[in-house]
């Protein structure tokens, strides 16, 4: 049998855990021989009570069909032995033998940062994730995240504004999570890569997302946890990064916010705090960009509003209340600031100052 088909076939068997696969390959020496051996009948001497289930999965597996599904969608299936397989993942103790890829991993993606956090993000967390990702990508750093709602999605969207991003799925490509994310996945594939180690039609399960998290850490030079409660998958990514000998950084959050309880704990335990993109660049050994744009010269009322929008999004009504300026005048100034590229309108008709130099 073709060696690639054998690898793809072995990867289609959910009960063939990495440990069992290692035993199988140790016994038979090659994926082709291992695949053929599984087809001859159960192997209780190797797999014990799981032998019958593995044999049943082997009989149903269709590696040729898997390759056809990928080809129809414009995706590649790469084995660990093929060119194009992400080099940092080869260095893991248990690299996935098969990767599904939309887009492409490039050599420049060796300079990558994982930006992760909770699905139940606050507006503060989403804002920070998007801004950090945009500034990192603008400086040539690839942003890696897990495509989940909340912080992950904000990180991907921010990176897409100025550079490359990589999404690692905890499902197969045919069952992306969250549902309805196909458009964002397409944009990421055009401007970076989407990766999964799971068969095409595999749905997410409690064990698949932690395995995804190990790949996020594996692809990244360091991991930044933007916002995470005490029990969060993002903290699992941080643990994987530490196991792999990488630094973990964390964004401080309000002490009253449950969404930041996990990140604040990381800081107590010694994680480096992130208060701006330069904190991350310094950890990467990169010089911060010196030629940032100076603050723009604005008329007094416009400068007042511009300064107000530096730290958090505000609605038009909140700006009116804080400045005491008439509603029509504030609305006009906001339009002018938006047209000048100094302010952006966020969902919910809230306004925020754009970072200088981006």
- CATH number, residue 194: 3.40.50.450
Per-residue confidence (pLDDT) for residue 178, from 0 to 100: 86
224 and 193 in a common domain: yes
Handedness of CA 121, 126, 222, 253 (dihedral sign): negative
Asked if the model's pLDDT at residue 153 lies above 90, the reply is yes
Residues sharing a CB contact under 8 Å with residue 4, sequence separation 6 or more, in sequence order: 77, 79, 82
Examine residue 272 and state whether it is found in any structural domain, yes or no: yes
Mean pLDDT of the chain: 91
261 and 131 in a common domain: yes
Query: Which of 61, 80, 95 is where one domain is finished?
Result: 61
Q: How many CB atoms lie within 10 A of CB 281?
A: 18
141 and 24 in a common domain: no
Per-residue confidence (pLDDT) for residue 291, from 0 to 100: 45
CATH number of the domain bearing residue 334: 1.10.10.10
251 and 325 in a common domain: no
326 and 264 in a common domain: no
Per-residue confidence (pLDDT) for residue 311, from 0 to 100: 66
**Mean pLDDT value of segment 50-69:** 95
Residue 350, CA distances (Å) to 6, 133, 263, 344 in order: 54, 20, 26, 9
The partner residues of 113 in beta bridges, in order of sequence, read 143, 222
222 and 308 in a common domain: no
Opening angle at CA 54, ends 47 and 101, nearest 5: 115
**Mean pLDDT value of segment 325-352:** 88
User: How many domains does the chain divide into?
Assistant: 3
Examine residue 308 and state whether it is found in any structural domain, yes or no: yes
Residue 121, CA distances (Å) to 124, 141, 153, 178, 275 in order: 8, 23, 10, 15, 18
Per-residue confidence (pLDDT) for residue 292, from 0 to 100: 47
Whole-structure pTM value: 0.82
* Domain of 191, in residue numbers: 107-284
315 and 277 in a common domain: no
Asked if the model's pLDDT at residue 81 lies above 60, the reply is yes
175 and 128 in a common domain: yes
Do the Cβ atoms of 167 and 194 come closer than 8 Å?
yes
How many Å apart are CA 58 and CA 37, to the nearest integer? 10
How many Å apart are CA 329 and CA 303, to the nearest integer? 13
């Amino acid at each position: 049998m073709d060696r690639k088909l054998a690898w793809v076939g072995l990867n289609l068997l959910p009960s063939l855990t990495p440990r069992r696969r290692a035993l199988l390959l140790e016994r038979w020496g090659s994926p082709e021989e291992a695949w053929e051996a599984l087809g001859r009948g159960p192997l209780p001497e190797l797999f014990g009570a799981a032998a019958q289930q593995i044999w049943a999965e082997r009989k149903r597996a269709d590696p040729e069909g898997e390759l056809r599904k990928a080809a129809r969608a414009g995706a590649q299936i790469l084995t660990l032995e093929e060119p194009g397989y992400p080099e940092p993942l080869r260095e893991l103790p248990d690299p996935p033998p098969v990767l599904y890829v939309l887009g492409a991993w490039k050599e420049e993606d060796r300079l990558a940062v994982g930006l992760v956090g909770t699905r139940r993000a606050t507006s503060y967390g989403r804002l920070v994730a998007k801004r950090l990702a945009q500034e990192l990508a603008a400086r040539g750093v690839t942003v890696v995240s897990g495509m989940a709602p909340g912080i992950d999605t904000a990180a991907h969207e921010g990176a897409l504004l100025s550079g490359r991003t990589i999404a690692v799925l905890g499902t197969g490509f045919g069952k992306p999570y969250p549902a309805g994310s196909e458009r964002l996945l397409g944009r990421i594939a055009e401007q970076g890569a989407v990766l999964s180690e799971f068969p095409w039609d595999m749905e997410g399960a409690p064990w698949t997302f932690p395995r995804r998290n190990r790949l996020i850490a594996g692809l990244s030079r360091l991991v930044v946890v933007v916002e995470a409660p005490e029990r969060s998958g993002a903290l699992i990514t941080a643990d994987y990064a530490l196991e792999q000998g990488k630094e973990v950084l964390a964004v401080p959050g309000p002490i009253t916010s449950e969404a930041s309880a996990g990140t604040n704990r990381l800081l107590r335990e010694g994680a480096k705090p992130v208060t701006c993109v330069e904190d991350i660049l310094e950890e990467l050994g990169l010089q911060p960009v010196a030629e940032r744009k100076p603050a723009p010269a604005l008329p007094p009322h416009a400068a007042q509003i511009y300064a107000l929008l530096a730290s958090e999004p505000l609605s038009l009504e909140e700006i009116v209340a804080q400045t005491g300026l008439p509603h029509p005048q504030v609305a006009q100034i906001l339009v002018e600031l938006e047209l000048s590229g100094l302010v952006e309108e966020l969902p919910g008709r809230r306004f925020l100052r754009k970072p200088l130099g981006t």
